Amino acid sequence: MTSDATSKRCDCPGCGATLIFAAELQKLRCEYCDAEVDVNKANQGPPPAGPVERGLALLLSAETSKGLGVSTTALQCQQCGAAISYPDKVTSGACCFCGSHLVVEKASNAQLITPESLIPFKVAKEQANEKFRGWVASLWFRPNDLKKMARVKDIDGVYAPFWTFDAQADTRWHAESGYHYYVTEEYTNSEGKKETRQVQHTRWEPSSGHHRGSYDDLLICASKGLSESLVRILEPYNTTQNLVGYQSSYLSGWGAEEYAVGPKEAWEKGQKRFEQNEYSACASEVPGDTHRNLNISMRLSQVTWKHCLLPVYIAAYRYHDKTYRFMVNGETGKVSGEAPYSFWKIFFAVVAVIALIVLFMKYQK
C-alpha cells in the first residue's frame, strides 16, 4: 500500500505543495523547495496536551472522540484484512503487510477512537532499507542466494495502533516449595563392582506469599496486519518519554492502520498479560530450589489506558514465490522478520556435530 502526494492540509508556505513529516528532521518538509515547518506551527489551533491517562470505565463505554482528525481514505487488504488510512490521495498497490495485490479502497472508519498520543517516526526510510540489507546479510542457516533474491521493492512506514494499560496489581499466591537433598546410594556398575553415588531427592512444603506489581504502559498491539510475535521482538518502545500528544500533522506522508482489536478485546488481552507477568513474578518469589502447583489470585486497581500510534516500517519480500515479512521499529531501529531456512545447511551442520561427538568419544576410550 503506497501513498501518493498525500494531504493538502499542510501546505508549504513557500510553494504551496504538500508538506511531509520528515523523520530525520522531526519537522514537516517540502519535497519541492526543501522548506521546513515545525509540526506545532502547522497544526491548526493550540498544541495538544501531552498524553493523558484515562479511566477504564471511559474505555469500555467508548464515549471518547472519534476519527483521526483529518479526511482520510483507507486501503484494505482482502487477504490479511489490514486497513490503512491515508490522507486524501492514495493509489492501490501491494499490501505492505502480506504482499497481496488484492487491495481495495474503502471509506475510513470514522467511529474509531481517536489516538491519545503517538511516537513520531525517528528512523528515516533510507535507514530502514539499510536495516533490511544488514539483517539479510546477518542470517545463519539461510539459502546462499537469499541476499541476491530477497528484494524489498519499497518499505512502508505505518503508524500501528496500540493500547497501553497502567495498573497496580495485588496478587496472593500459593505453591509447594521443593527443597533438594541428597542421599548416598550403592549400585552395581557395568563391570559388576559396587559403587556409591549421590542421588537427589526433593522435600515438598506448602508456601504462600503476596506480590505487589506496578505496571506502566503495558502494550497491547491492536493491528490486524502485524504478527504479534514479530511485534514483541520490536519492543520496547519508549512510551514513558517519547509519546507526544496526537496531531494529524505527524501523519502527513505516512499511513495509519485502523485498529482491529477494539477496547473490550484489548482489555481482555491486557488482563491476561498482567496475569502472566504476575505469575512469573510470584514464581520468582517462591522459596526453595524448585516449586510446583503455583496458583495466584490477582486484583488490579488504578487501571488507566491510552490509545496510541507507534511507528513501524514493514515490507513483504519474496523468495521463491513465497512471501516473508520484515519490520523495523520506527523509533529505535530494532528489527524483526521472517526468512527461509536452508535444509542442506542445517543437515550438514547436524552431521558435522555428530561426527565431532563420535570422534571425541573415540579418543576418550
pLDDT digits (tens, 9 = 90+) for 94-121: 676 666 655 555 556 667 888 889 999 9
Question: Which pLDDT tens digit goes with each residue over 156-192?
Answer: 889 999 999 999 999 999 999 999 999 999 988 888 8
Which own/partner pairs from 131-137 qualify as long-range (CB within 8 Å, at least 24 positions apart)?
Answer: 131/313, 131/328, 131/333, 131/335, 132/315, 132/317, 132/326, 132/328, 132/335, 132/337, 135/326, 135/335, 135/337, 136/339
- Residue written as grid cell 470514522: 110
Residues 6 or more apart in contact with residue 145 via CB below 8 angstroms: none
What is the H or E stretch that residue 364 is in?
A: helix 343-364
- 173, β-bridge pairs: 209, 296
pTM: 0.78
DSSP 3-state percent helix, strand, coil across the chain (nearest 5): 25, 40, 35
159 within 8 A of 118, measured Cβ to Cβ: yes
pLDDT of residue 198: 93
Residues 6 or more apart in contact with residue 22 via CB below 8 angstroms: 28, 29, 36, 124
Beta strands in 80-155 (DSSP E): 83-87, 89-91, 103-107, 117-118
Least confident interval from 5-9, 94-98, 260-264? 5-9
Q: CA-CA distance, 79 to 18, in Å (whole number)? A: 32
Q: CA-CA distance, 104 to 223, in Å (whole number)? A: 18
Count of other CB atoms within 10 angstroms of residue 346: 13
In 3D space, the residue among 31, 96, 80, 79 whose CA is nearest the CA of residue 256 turns out to be: 96
3-state secondary structure of 323: strand
Beta strands in 131-251 (DSSP E): 156-188, 194-221, 244-245
228 within 8 A of 276, measured Cβ to Cβ: no
Provide the pLDDT confidence category of residue 67 given band limits of 50, 70 and 90: low
Provide the pLDDT confidence category of residue 155 given band limits of 50, 70 and 90: confident
Q: CA-CA distance, 203 to 136, in Å (whole number)? A: 50
Mean pLDDT of the chain, nearest integer: 81
Count of other CB atoms within 10 angstroms of residue 62: 13
Q: Where are the domains of the chain?
A: 2-52+63-158+217-259+302-349
What is the H or E stretch that residue 3 is in?
A: strand 2-6
3-state secondary structure of 281: helix
Whether 340 has a pLDDT exceeding 90, the answer reads no
Provide the pLDDT confidence category of residue 137 given band limits of 50, 70 and 90: confident
In 3D space, the residue among 137, 62, 174 whose CA is nearest the CA of residue 326 turns out to be: 137
